[in-house]
Structure 1
Amino acid sequence: MQNRTRTSSGSPFEDQFGFCRAIRIPGHGADRIIVAGTGPIEDDGETTEGGAAEQAERCCALIVKAIENLGGTAADVVRTRMLLTDIDQQAEVGEVHSHFFGAARPAATMMGVAALCRPEWLVEIEAEAVVEH
């Protein structure tokens, strides 16, 4: 577990549930950055206002910030997973995803789920990036 670097987003859940926003794991030739499932949390701990698109934008912004904190960029993203409580919002969330990660064209999964951690959350997103040395 040595040489792993972690970053926090300041989410109250990180301390409460014992996790970090993202972790960079060294590898031969490239490092992996794994970003935890990221909900639409504002700096004050409140949920981002608006619909699925606005919440997805906040999730993606937090993901990119975490990756940048660990020395990567949005262009390094190779995998995303998008969880939606209303799958009918897939076009709106997909458009936001494309804005942030379209140039990288990561392998992506979008799925409908019954619920997320907070009842007002409409979307949660996680990502993985590979940063070459």
Structure 2
Amino acid sequence: MQLLHTSDAPAPGGHYSQAVRTGDYIHTAGQVGLNAATGVTPSDFREQTRQALANLRAVLAEGGAEITDVVRTMCLLTDIDNFAIFNEEYAAFFGDHRPARSTFGIALAGGFTVEVEAIAYVGDR
């Protein structure tokens, strides 16, 4: 097992790793819309979503994975009424790649409105 960490995504706010590589898979922790470089979380839901996905890309890259390696995501929204906006940004981010996905409406700590975690398969490399 290899613990992954990049300064290009927010540092964990608790007792966990940004991601863990086990064998052929990378499992990420949930990535939120906090900009690691500025420490700012956008107030706009769309911008928070874009930042969360950018953070996800950075964490995956640290483990040698690309977005097209993602096989599953779990997406958490504090307001399920934002699903259409989230889905637009998610579709733009993944393009033609369509990993399996679950999306839930829940409460998130820290004032965040969106969180995305992923599992990526890197065994073909």
> How would you bin the TM-score normalised by the shorter chain?
0.7 to 0.9
> Match of 2:52?
59
For structure 2, the 5+ residue unaligned runs are: none
For structure 1, the 5+ residue unaligned runs are: none
Identity score, percent: 32
> Match of 1:128?
119
- 1:24 aligned to which of 7, 16, 21: 21
**Looking at CA atoms only, which structure, 1 or 2, has the larger radius of gyration?**
1
- 2:66 aligned to which of 60, 70, 73: 73
Deviations 1:48-105 (A, max 9, x none): 2132211111111111111111111000011111111111110111111112223220
Distance 1:75 1:44 in 2: 25
Count matched residues: 122
After TM superposition, what 4+ stretches of structure 1 lie above 4 angstroms from structure 2? none
Letter aligned with residue 19 of structure 2: A
What TM-score does the superposition give when structure 2 sets the normalisation length? 0.87
| Residues 76 and 103, structure 2, Cα contact 8 Å, conserved in 1 | yes
> Match of 1:118?
110
What TM-score does the superposition give when structure 1 sets the normalisation length? 0.82
Distance 2:117 2:14 in 1: 17
Aligned Cα root-mean-square deviation (Å): 1.7
Post-superposition offset of 1:47: 4.1
